Amino acid sequence: MAEFGELCDDFRGLGVYIAALSVDPQEQSERVRRQYELPFPILCDTEKKVVQAWGLFNAEEKGGIAVPAVVLLGRDHCIRMMMIEGVATRVRAADLLAFLRSHPVPASSADDMPSNPQRQRVIVPWLVDFGRAVWNSIFRL
């Protein structure tokens, strides 16, 4: 999250505004925001309604936590891109920024190209990240 804070102005320059979503109480989220000096808000979903609706809820861990993910919304508040992350790797803010510079996210469904309305893009992990994920799954303690 700290890396997204460092590049927050670069994302804003592309029309992308950052907010974090947590299932933690507001006081705990605010402590985290101050600790990492994040220039964006942490929204609190203590009732876990949003993370459940978006398929980002892990009921198996610690009484229910949010799955790490990056979600980009258009101006119409519709999800334009979602990257569900794992424990082994996370989407690097710099990589996402580079991707968005070369592949802008549509602001609304009306901005999608009519010839391909279901257009999807895949971000392939770096080979080192893939290797680290395999290593972690084999030698997990």
Residues 92-121: tens digit of each pLDDT = 889 888 888 888 766 655 544 444 444 555
pLDDT of residue 117: 46
pLDDT in tens, 67-101: 888 877 766 777 777 788 776 777 888 988 888 88
Q: Is the pLDDT score of 57 beyond 70?
A: yes
Q: Report the 10 Å Cβ neighbour count for 36.
A: 16
Report pLDDT for 65. Answer: 81
Spatial contact of 67 and 48, defined as CB atoms under 8 Å apart: no
Confidence tier at 129 by pLDDT (50, 70, 90): low
Fold held by 2-138: Glutaredoxin (3.40.30)
Furthest C-alpha separation in the chain: 49
Domain boundaries, the chain: 2-138
Q: So what's the pLDDT on residue 125?
A: 57
* pTM (global) more than 0.75: no
